[in-house]
């Protein structure tokens, strides 16, 4: 059975999401050690999800298993997360992969994050055949949503939205002194978006020491450790987007003590008429910027929580069309899975019948069926006899009643699902 434990911007605080995202790579192995057949963890800026295949887990125990794996008390997860069971898991993941559950509907980064989650699970050896099928079909569903609906074009990435929110404070992007903190995929997207808006004075700092390589690749200025604070102090726009688990920008980089309460303020809808000399945009999860930065004189902070509050309304028509695609993909996933569930029993039955057939054909040949007329008639009859049970098996599977067909094969012929491999050939008396 498939389960998904999900905590997202819709159900959990950013503080809890930060705590959950700190050690995502250890969660899936811990879940497998706890008895799951497979586990894949998806940890992004705005969500933490554990996809689990387990026959021995009850729905009410799944949260406890995730709590144990993450080291976060179950009491903290209850009320801030929800458990999605079996037939609803596929539709949820397909919607997530398509951007339907993102802060900004249709944002494109999530599709790559879903693919990477499966890759990480493969490398850790925590996938299962059903989870592999689930995540591969999620990528297919996402591509179909992108190709047949306007959702991807209507949606805007977090990066683009954050810079649009900054427009009210920036008169001339070419005059901004920009410091980019981070060198990952979000940094590359941020840099491209900054250049689209006209920014030219851009420097990059990397807490992990990759600034020089990134700067050389994209033609901007690298900032080294001993320069970081000085560059931060003279920058007018600072954007952080690292995977660091602790803040990488705080009062120390601004050479201020963080006690200037009330001088600055978090960016909000009413703050545009109170200009600040420095704007900090924190796109990190966990949080990259110490919250006390928002209290520094002349500094405004725009973080993911603020971006979420300013997310634009969904494009209703594109969203509705995408939901239809997702639902159809989920139904197809379940139908294929149901058919697979009866396949072993169907194979066992056909193997049994064809075994009997070959034995009887061999007997007919020994009795003088030289022209093959008896063999031809028997093969035709076997096909006719197999057609209705095979068709009925698939119909039952589509109705979720595949177990009834397996039980019938066991009752009538003594055939279990694994009998196809070594079915005993018994001649008709």
Active site amino acids: 45
Count the Cβ atoms, other than its own, within 10 Å of residue 214: 20
CA atoms in the 13 A half-sphere facing the CB of 377 = 7
H-helix or E-strand spanning residue 49: strand 47-53
CB neighbours of residue 245 within 10 Å: 14
Torsion over CA of 121, 123, 126 and 132, rounded to 10 degrees? 60
What's the chain's length in residues?
429
DSSP β-bridge partners for residue 2: 53
C-alpha to C-alpha distance for 242 and 307, rounded to whole angstroms: 17
Nearest-CA neighbor of 297 among 324, 273, 278, 321? 278
Residues 2/86, Cβ–Cβ less than 8 Å: yes
Beta-bridge partner residues of 332 = none
Q: Judge whether 110 and 102 are in contact, CB under 8 Å.
A: yes
CB-CB contact of 294 with 272 (8 Å): no
Q: How distant is the alpha carbon of residue 347 from its chain centre?
A: 34
For every residue of 78-147, DSSP letters joined together read: BTTBEEEEGGGHHHHHHHHHTTTTSSSTT-SHHHHHHHHHHHHHHHHT---HHHHHHHHHHHHHHHHHHH
């Amino acid at each position: 059975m498939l389960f998904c434990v999900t905590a997202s911007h819709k159900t959990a605080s950013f503080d809890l999401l930060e705590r959950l995202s700190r050690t995502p790579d250890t969660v899936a192995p811990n879940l497998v050690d706890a008895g799951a057949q497979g586990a894949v963890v998806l940890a992004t800026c705005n969500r933490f999800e554990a996809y689990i295949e387990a026959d021995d887990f009850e729905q009410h125990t799944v949260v406890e298993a995730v709590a144990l794996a993450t080291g976060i008390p179950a009491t903290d997860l209850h009320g801030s997360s929800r458990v999605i069971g079996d037939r609803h898991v596929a539709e949820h993941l397909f919607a997530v992969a398509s951007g339907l559950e993102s802060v900004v509907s249709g944002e494109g980064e999530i599709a790559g994050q879903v693919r990477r989650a499966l890759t990480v699970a493969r490398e850790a050896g925590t996938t299962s055949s059903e989870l592999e099928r689930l995540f591969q079909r999620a990528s297919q569903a996402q591509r179909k949503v992108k190709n047949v609906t306007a959702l991807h074009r209507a949606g805007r990435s977090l990066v683009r939205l954050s810079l649009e929110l900054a427009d009210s404070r920036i008169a001339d992007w070419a005059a901004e002194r920009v410091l980019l903190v981070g060198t990952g995929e979000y940094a590359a997207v941020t840099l491209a978006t900054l250049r689209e808006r006209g920014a030219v004075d851009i420097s990059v700092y990397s807490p992990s020491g990759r600034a020089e390589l990134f700067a050389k690749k994209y033609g901007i200025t690298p900032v080294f450790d001993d320069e970081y604070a000085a560059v931060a102090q003279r920058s007018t726009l600072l954007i952080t987007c690292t995977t660091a688990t602790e803040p990488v920008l705080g009062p120390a980089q601004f050479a201020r003590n963080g006690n200037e309460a009330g001088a600055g303020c978090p960016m909000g809808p009413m703050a545009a008429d109170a200009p600040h000399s420095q704007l900090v945009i924190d796109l990190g999860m966990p949080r990259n910027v110490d919250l006390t930065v928002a209290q520094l004189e002349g500094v405004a902070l725009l973080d993911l929580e603020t971006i979420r509050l300013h997310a634009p309304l969904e494009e209703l028509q594109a969203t509705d069309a995408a939901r239809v695609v997702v639902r159809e993909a989920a139904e197809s996933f379940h139908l294929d899975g149901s058919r697979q569930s009866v396949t072993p029993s169907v194979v066992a039955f056909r193997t049994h019948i064809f075994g009997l057939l070959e034995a009887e054909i061999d007997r007919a040949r020994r009795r003088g069926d030289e022209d093959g007329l008896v063999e031809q008639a028997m093969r035709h009859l076997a096909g006719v006899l197999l057609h209705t049970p095979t068709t009925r098996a698939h119909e039952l599977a589509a109705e979720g009643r595949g177990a009834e067909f397996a039980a019938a094969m066991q009752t009538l012929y003594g055939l279990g699902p694994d009998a196809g491999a070594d079915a005993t050939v018994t001649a008709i008396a």
